[in-house]
Structure 1
């Protein structure tokens, strides 16, 4: 099962340790943290990938497992009241995501890998009387997701007083 909140918390804690910059989900925070800060949102939380069944036998049980490697897109945006500070922080954060975050993910043995890191884009907005400078980029992650179903296996059938063995293995 994919736990998006665990991924967010993992990134938040490592980003704070390395850069002491706030990392928040802007949609759930009542007040914005001090500038500059980074927001995130899973814009595509589950992108299905092709998969197939894997069938195994355990005694009289048949276990069918479907394992997929779904991807997800997380969008990061750096906020600031200063254009240069915002762009510098966005580039620094993108470099951190590209270079250090994959190693942290590997060290923690999280079932998440970085597939692609997009380029930094200007996302600046005009709010009432002044600009809020925003620069951001998207990151595609991949994980594994498995579901299982277990069914009883038929070992034999009896037809007209005749026993027929069924070999399912």
Structure 2
């Protein structure tokens, strides 16, 4: 997913986005880096668990939403260029990128401010500006229930149940 987002940002904004924390040779300035700082943050509530039937039979499906955070920094030769490009990449998340994210079943839940991340290296500055973006996705898993002996658990549908409470018959 992060690869798709990186490539789409480049396609839509012309800002090259590389993975952070890499030992690969760095591209010429300007460029951006993306770091998956929080890959899985439990969202509120419990997972939805239900039984589904498909061509292969009856299965159990578990769906859970979760959040994750990307930190994006733009590196440039001047402070003004770093700010301009960081704003362009940030805008991608609520303009051009919104449709691409929706296609991956992802929504933006929090888009941080563009902040100064410039550092001083030996005798010059490395101009950086960046922001964090929090997204929400869905983790969907479908699986067969299996007994300890390796055979599949088979589910039967219950149409009615008769309950008896202290001598009272309730249908």
Which residue of structure 1 aligns with residue 26 of structure 2? 32
Does the aligned pair in 1 maintain the 2:9–2:17 contact within 8 Å?
A: yes
Structure 1 segment 76-155 matched on structure 2, within 5 A = 76-106=72-102, 109-151=103-145, 152-153=153-154
Question: Mean Cα displacement is larger for which, 64-73 or 46-55?
Answer: 46-55
How far is the alpha carbon of 1:96 from its aligned partner?
A: 2.0
Structure 1 stretches of at least 4 aligned residues deviating more than 4 Å after TM superposition: none
Unaligned regions of 5+ residues in structure 2, if any? 146-152, 160-171
Which residue of structure 1 aligns with residue 12 of structure 2? 18
Work out the number of aligned pairs and report it: 148
Q: Structure 2-normalised TM-score?
A: 0.75
Does the aligned pair in 2 maintain the 1:121–1:137 contact within 8 Å?
A: yes
How far is the alpha carbon of 1:168 from its aligned partner?
A: 4.8
Q: Equivalents in 1 of 2:64, 2:15: separation in Å?
A: 34
Q: Structure 1-normalised TM-score?
A: 0.76
Unaligned regions of 5+ residues in structure 1, if any? 1-6, 156-166
CA deviations 1:12-60 (Å, max 9, x no partner) are 22222223221101312422111111100000001112323423275xx
Does the aligned pair in 1 maintain the 2:67–2:136 contact within 8 Å?
A: yes
Are residues 129 and 57 of structure 1, via their aligned partners in 2, closer, same or farther at CA, if it must alter by over 3 Å?
closer
Are residues 147 and 87 of structure 1, via their aligned partners in 2, closer, same or farther at CA, if it must alter by over 3 Å?
same
CA deviations 1:137-157 (Å, max 9, x no partner) are 0111111112344332487xx
